[in-house]
Structure 1
Amino acid sequence: MRNPSDAGQSVLPGMPRRLLRASPKSLADFSDCPRRYRYANVDRPSPQRGPRFAHHTVGTALHQVLTQWYDLPVERRTPASARQLLYAAWTPAGFRDDEQSDRWRARAAGWLTDFVADLDPEVEPRARERTVSTTTERMTLSGRVDRIDERGEELVVVDYKTGRNPSTDDEARGSQALALYVLAVRRTLRRPCTRVELHHVPTGTVASFEHTERSLANHARRAEDVAIDIGAALQAVDDGQDPDVAFPAVPGRQCGWCDFRPACPTGQAATPAREPWSFLAEDDLAT
């Protein structure tokens, strides 16, 4: 096992602390299950991952299309072009069979048709799939934002959602990832940014929240607390502690669909594995 950030190494007196390299996802992984964080960010080579899930296939394809659509000339930014991009991006990974995959491709194409019809093709986002970063007391934080809109002098963080249920304003308010993206957008693009939005592609609904300096500080403080815990775990391993003790597994229902289930005996014992298509809408779950 190798520490990718050096955050767990001792600092000589008078030397600055080495910062943890982190992302909103890696912080969330550690909060949910330190063992998962270790597998994804510390162990090299990373352990074997499980099969891809069908709902991830759907989400990945839709995200890819909504990025590529803006690469087209303005006159070609149409629902028909979005559907063509989807057909090129689609894979059958995770679906029960080709028939189920084809049905979901058609369903996703319908979502795109309605979603893109509501977009103004002449309005260019400030950025798409943009990596932004910032530095805190204990970490260098970076992540990729789906879309950054420019509205007057303000920038807006936009995150596409493709799950079953529309997002809510409470989700936008409570999302640590979106709050951290606001801070990173400010640092990277040097523009005011307070608003975050969750755009639910299947329904076209938008959930939003306007952050204040206080709400951003609260999210940043909680992220710093996680970074402290990660640093302590890394230091424990450097000091000779068993990595499985320093990064304990947190077993539960989520082990049924964890990417690292094949490498985790604790997760395998906790619950049966979920079928790769089991998170699709209820009408597609029958075998």
Structure 2
Amino acid sequence: MTDLAEADTPVWPIPSSLSPSRVSSFTSCPMQFRFSSVQRLPEPPGVATTRGSVVHRALELLFVLDPIERTPEALATTLSGALDEYATDPDYVGLQLDDAAAQAFRADCDKLIERYFDMEDPTTIRDIGLEVRMAAPVGSLELRGIIDRLELDDDGELVVTDYKTGRAPSGRYEQKSLAGVHFYSFLCEAVLGRRPAKIRLMYLSSGETIETVPSAQSVRFIDTRTSAVWKAVERACTTGDFRPNQSRLCDWCGFRQWCPAFGGDPDRAEAEATAAYEALLTAPAATG
């Protein structure tokens, strides 16, 4: 007879915290969540993701300056500084860009920051925090996140701003995209004791801004949803049952070759993903 305590011993270690991206990862595909958040396997970097990180860093550096100094020329300078910082970062090195691809990467970053000034005037922003890390308990779980920019509006109310470098969602997916920033509203209320008056998504690729006003109901929903996802994560870790969920996102998944939905062996992922990532970072630099 199987001992009950032994049967309840988790197959995989249960994470102690969740972030908005991890919640999205689990609900999109539990198998991908297992690879990235439970086993913490390295993923080959992607151009779009790394470009987004560089642009985020450039905007962070811009807002370190006094408001009057936040000009287009200053943002071009902070972008150069961000690119210099990332020159030796694994997320950039692993892209293996040749000279032409590196120039195209910079040109795409330039387009994003140029569009930014059509969206708002940074000299008027009353920022009170950049890349703000917050964490709050939800039962036995810790919910954590990083707010791109926290600011005060003309009435002294909190505003959460999140930069996006991908495409803006269509109307049917807009609320799903706002789910992540509702997490930040929850964290502000839990940590600062104040609910933001507004949460904003700034899509630099198109110049669109999506805004919403968080409510007591939306904050309660985050608590309820996170608790439900957490129970599902605990159950999956305990049983080892992380099922793949095929969708269009599979085309961009760095773990696809080990996914059983595509004939892969997930038990080989740990050794092979790590080896492939290390080989990528030590490969000769691209030229041309």
Q: Which TM-score band applies after superposition, normalised by the shorter structure? A: 0.7 to 0.9
- Kindly state the Cα deviation for residue 26 of structure 1 after the two structures are TM-superposed: 1.2
The answer as to whether partners of 1:133 and 1:185 remain within 8 angstroms in 2 is no
Q: Partner amino acid for 2:135?
A: S
Partners of 2:62 and 2:97 lie apart in 1 by 29
RMSD in angstroms over aligned alpha carbons? 2.8
SS of residue in 1 equivalent to 2:131: strand
Q: For residue 249 of structure 1, what is the aligned residue in structure 2?
A: 244
User: Greater shift after overlay, 213-222 or 24-33?
Assistant: 213-222
Partners of 2:42 and 2:261 lie apart in 1 by 14
- Kindly state the Cα deviation for residue 220 of structure 1 after the two structures are TM-superposed: 2.9
- Residues 1:171 and 2:171 are matched in the alignment: no
- Kindly state the Cα deviation for residue 63 of structure 1 after the two structures are TM-superposed: 0.6
- Residues 1:260 and 2:255 are matched in the alignment: yes
- Residues 1:124 and 2:118 are matched in the alignment: no
Q: Partner amino acid for 1:32?
A: S
Q: Which residues of 2 match residues 34-183 of structure 1 at below 5 A?
A: 34-43=30-39, 46-49=40-43, 51-90=44-83, 94=95, 97-116=98-117, 118-121=120-123, 123-151=125-153, 152-165=155-168, 171-172=174-175, 175-183=178-186
Partners of 2:74 and 2:22 lie apart in 1 by 35
Count how many residue pairs are aligned between Structure 1 and Structure 2: 244
Which residue among 205, 230, 233 is the counterpart of 2:236?
233
Partners of 2:112 and 2:249 lie apart in 1 by 28
Q: Structure 1 residues 76 and 211 mapped into 2: Cα distance closer, same or farther (>3 Å)?
A: closer
- Kindly state the Cα deviation for residue 112 of structure 1 after the two structures are TM-superposed: 1.3
Residues 112-159 of structure 1: CA distance to partner in whole angstroms, max 9, x if unpaired?
A: 134246323253312111011222235210111111121224211111
Residues 151-171 of structure 1: CA distance to partner in whole angstroms, max 9, x if unpaired?
A: 224211111111134776962
Q: How many percent identity over aligned positions?
A: 23
Partners of 1:166 and 1:248 lie apart in 2 by 26
The answer as to whether partners of 1:195 and 1:209 remain within 8 angstroms in 2 is yes
Q: Partner amino acid for 1:146?
A: D
- Residues 1:202 and 2:196 are matched in the alignment: no
The answer as to whether partners of 2:14 and 2:233 remain within 8 angstroms in 1 is no
Q: Which runs of 5+ in 1 are unaligned?
A: 6-19, 237-242, 271-287
Partners of 2:165 and 2:174 lie apart in 1 by 14
SS of residue in 1 equivalent to 2:127: coil
Q: For residue 11 of structure 1, what is the aligned residue in structure 2?
A: none
Which residue among 19, 27, 31 is the counterpart of 1:23?
19
The answer as to whether partners of 2:244 and 2:260 remain within 8 angstroms in 1 is yes
Partners of 2:177 and 2:45 lie apart in 1 by 28
Q: For residue 272 of structure 2, what is the aligned residue in structure 1?
A: none
The answer as to whether partners of 2:76 and 2:110 remain within 8 angstroms in 1 is yes
Partners of 2:37 and 2:115 lie apart in 1 by 38
The answer as to whether partners of 2:14 and 2:234 remain within 8 angstroms in 1 is no
SS of residue in 1 equivalent to 2:149: strand
User: Greater shift after overlay, 194-203 or 27-36?
Assistant: 194-203
TM-score, normalised to structure 2, is 0.73
SS of residue in 2 equivalent to 1:121: helix
The answer as to whether partners of 1:166 and 1:203 remain within 8 angstroms in 2 is no
- Kindly state the Cα deviation for residue 206 of structure 1 after the two structures are TM-superposed: 1.3
SS of residue in 1 equivalent to 2:48: helix
The answer as to whether partners of 1:161 and 1:201 remain within 8 angstroms in 2 is yes
Q: Which runs of 5+ in 2 are unaligned?
A: 1-10, 265-288
TM-score, normalised to structure 1, is 0.74
Looking at secondary structure, tell me which structure has more helix per residue. 2
Q: Structure 1 residues 131 and 98 mapped into 2: Cα distance closer, same or farther (>3 Å)?
A: same
Residues 226-271 of structure 1: CA distance to partner in whole angstroms, max 9, x if unpaired?
A: 11111222233xxxxxx3xx22222344223213335x2425548x
